[in-house]
């Protein structure tokens, strides 16, 4: 058994691309992912998975069809399955995601932002 700690800052320093989550851990069928966001993502939903977005650095604007929730550093938001949403980052935001390992980043949509095979750091 390989028990090791993960240094979040070191993992974040290893990439600079946006909207491309990286797997940094796995537990109970869930992935722990790190990602950097900048700009607007697409409107989408996940029919079978809840998602948790924990903001490490920056300010994330999580848009829903009926409201917008601002999520700052050291705050998180859980988006329940089936709820249409769109993450927006006016400036670069670093986030940690907790979601089932079956979760596709663009949910029910497929386009150039879809990441079907995630890199493990």
pLDDT attached to residue 120: 84
pTM, to two decimals = 0.84
Residue 37 is encoded by which pair of tokens? Answer: 């966001």
- E strands within 1-121? 22-27, 30-40, 51-57, 60-64, 68-71, 76-79, 85-100, 119-120
In a domain, 37, yes or no: yes
Question: Cβ(21)–Cβ(105) under 8 Å?
Answer: yes
* Number of neighbours of residue 46 by Cβ within 10 angstroms: 23
96-119 pLDDT per residue, tens = 998 887 765 555 556 555 556 666
pLDDT tens, residue by residue, 37-64: 999 998 988 888 899 999 999 999 999 9
In a domain, 3, yes or no: no
Report the C-alpha gap between 1 and 32 in whole angstroms. 19
* Number of domains the chain contains: 1
Provide the domain limits for residue 79: 8-109
């Amino acid at each position: 058994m390989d028990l090791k700690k993960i240094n979040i800052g070191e993992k974040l320093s290893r990439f600079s691309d946006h909207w491309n989550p990286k797997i940094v851990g796995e537990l109970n069928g869930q992935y722990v992912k790190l990602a950097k966001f900048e700009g607007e993502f697409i409107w989408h939903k996940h029919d079978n998975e809840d998602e948790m977005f924990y903001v490490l650095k920056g300010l994330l604007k999580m848009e829903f069809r009926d409201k917008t929730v601002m999520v700052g550093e050291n705050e998180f938001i859980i988006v329940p399955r089936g709820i249409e949403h769109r993450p927006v980052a006016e400036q670069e935001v670093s986030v940690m995601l907790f979601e089932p390992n079956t979760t596709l980043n663009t949910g029910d949509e497929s386009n150039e932002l879809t990441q079907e095979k995630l890199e493990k750091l």
